[in-house]
Amino acid sequence: MVERFVKFQPQTCGDVTLSIYLYHLWLALKLVCPANDWSWLVTIRERLASRGREKRKRYNSVTSEKLYALGVALMDGASSSIKPVTVSSVQTTYRDGLIIAFLALVPLRRRTLGLLRIGEHLVRSEGGWAVDIPARDTKSKRPLEFPLSPELSTRMDFYVKKIRPQILGAAGSDYLWVNRCGPMSERMIYANVRRRTRKALGFPVNLHRFRHAAATFWSIRDPVNVRGVKDLLGHATFAMTEQHYIMAQSRLAGRALAEAINDLEVDR
C-alpha cells in the first residue's frame, strides 16, 4: 500500500518531496496505530531523502530582472499581434508573459498564485493594482501585501480588461489566471512557465525558482537590507532566507577576486 501511495504522487515530485510525504504518513500511522512498529517506514523515508540530496543539481543562474524582462518581451510580442475579436494563442502568450513578470516582482508560492481572485486577492485602487492575501491563503499563515509597480499595473489593466475576457474559460469566474477550460490549476501554470522559460532561456524555470531568483537579486543589489527578503517571501524566520544571502556574497567575493587578478595581469 505504501508503494502504491508513492506511485500515486505526480511525476514532478522528487525524492526529497516524497520523503516528506512519507514522514507525514509515518506521523499519521503512529497516531492511528501507536502499538505498531513503523520503523521500517522511517528507513524508507531516510533512504529517499538521502538519494534526493545526492541527485540535487546546481541551478542555472537566473535572477528577477532577467525573468521580468522575459515576461515583458512575451507581453509586448503578443500585444503587437492582437486582433480585435480573435481568440488565439496570442492571448495565452500575453497571459503567460504576465505570470512570469508578476512572479518576478511578487514571488508567491504556486498554491497561492493559483488561488488569486480579482477583487479579493488582487485589488484595484487609484494608485494601481495591489496583491492582498489573507493569512488563511498562505503556507506560513502570514498575510501578504504587495503593491504592483506602475508598469505592471498598466499591463495588469490591459490583461483584465482586454485579454482575459477573450479567453473562453474566463466567463463566470473571478480567478485571475484562466484558460479555455476555466481557472488554471497549479500544475497548468507550472507547466506553462517551464515551457516558456525553456524556450527563451534554454532551461526551464519552475515556480519556486522565482523565489530563489528574488532572494539572490536582492542580496546582490542591496546586501545591507537583505533581511527584507524574509518578508518578501513570507518566511517566518530569516534562517530560511540566509542561504541565498550567503550564496550571493560568495558570488560577489569570487567576482572581486577575479577582477583583482585580471588587474594584476593587465599591469604586467
20 lies in a domain? Answer: yes
Which residue among 208, 229, 256 closes a domain?
A: 208
The whole-number pLDDT of residue 260 equals 52
Same domain assignment for residues 199 and 228? no
Which residue among 175, 208, 241 closes a domain?
A: 208
The whole-number pLDDT of residue 245 equals 45
The whole-number pLDDT of residue 218 equals 61
Going from the C-alpha of 237 to that of each of 148, 152, 220, 240, the distances in angstroms are 25, 29, 20, 6
The whole-number pLDDT of residue 123 equals 93
Same domain assignment for residues 94 and 179? yes
Domain that holds residue 71: 64-208
Same domain assignment for residues 80 and 181? yes
The whole-number pLDDT of residue 164 equals 94
| CB hemisphere CA count around 9 (13 angstroms) | 16
213 lies in a domain? Answer: no
Q: What is the pLDDT of residues 183-239, one digit of tens each?
A: 999 999 999 999 999 999 999 998 888 887 777 666 666 565 555 555 555 555 555
Spell out the residues 6+ positions from residue 253 whose beta carbon is closer than 8 angstroms to its own. none
How big is the chain by its Cα radius of gyration, in Å? Answer: 22
- Asked whether the beta carbons of 153 and 128 are under 8 A apart, the reply is yes
Same domain assignment for residues 202 and 69? yes
The single residue listed with the C-alpha cell 524582462 is 69
CATH of the domain at 76: 1.10.443.10
Least confident of 46-50, 98-102, 161-165, 239-243: 239-243
Which residue among 55, 73, 99 closes a domain?
A: 55
